[in-house]
């Protein structure tokens, strides 16, 4: 019999991606307060969330790229959902415009994980570099 504490609903990469996405929300809000900033929630999750997810994954011996990829996907999904919520439903759009936005949304969902993967790798690399230098300087002293 499996105890409830051993049942995992999400893989570690998804958990770290969700943590990174949640951490990036206040960071994105602060960045958006800067002058001439056009930061979005989706972009913040895709970049900052993936950096955080990659850093956590590197510390926890999980692949940072996988966590970053998932955070990037979450960022792209949030960006597309925000667009769908804010679009003017009462306007009648020609079919060509609808096809364009469906295509653009699909491309966004394909490209966002790649940006997230890259940011996750960078976050993991920075974290490992800092931790190894910290441990090395602690051993020297």
Write the DSSP string, 34-53.
STT----HHHHIIIIIHHHH
Q: Where are the beta strands (DSSP E) in 7-135?
A: none
* 70: nearest Cα among 50, 86, 89, 93: 50
* Residue 70: predicted pLDDT: 96
- CB atoms near residue 123 (< 10 Å): 29
Question: Rounded distance, CA 109 to CA 113, Å?
Answer: 7
* Residue 4: predicted pLDDT: 60
Q: Residue-wise over 95-118: b if at least 16 C-beta within 10 A, else e?
A: eeeeeeeeeebeebeeebbebbbb
Full-model pTM: 0.85
Tens of pLDDT, residues 23-53? 999 999 999 888 988 888 999 999 999 999 9
- CB atoms near residue 31 (< 10 Å): 17
Q: Which of 1-10, 37-46, 119-128, 129-138 has the highest mean pLDDT?
A: 119-128
């Amino acid at each position: 019999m499996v105890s409830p504490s051993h049942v995992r609903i999400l893989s570690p990469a998804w958990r770290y991606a969700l943590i990174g996405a949640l951490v990036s929300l206040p960071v994105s809000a602060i960045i958006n307060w800067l002058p001439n900033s056009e930061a979005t929630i989706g972009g913040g999750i895709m970049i900052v969330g993936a950096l955080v997810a990659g850093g956590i994954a590197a510390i926890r011996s999980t692949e940072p790229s996988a966590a970053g990829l998932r955070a990037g996907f979450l960022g792209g999904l949030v960006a597309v959902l925000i667009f769908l919520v804010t679009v003017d439903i009462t306007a009648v759009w020609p079919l060509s415009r609808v096809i364009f936005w469906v295509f653009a949304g699909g491309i966004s969902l394909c490209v966002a994980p790649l940006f997230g993967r890259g940011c996750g790798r960078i976050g993991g690399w920075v974290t490992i570099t800092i931790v190894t230098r910290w441990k090395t300087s602690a051993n020297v002293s």
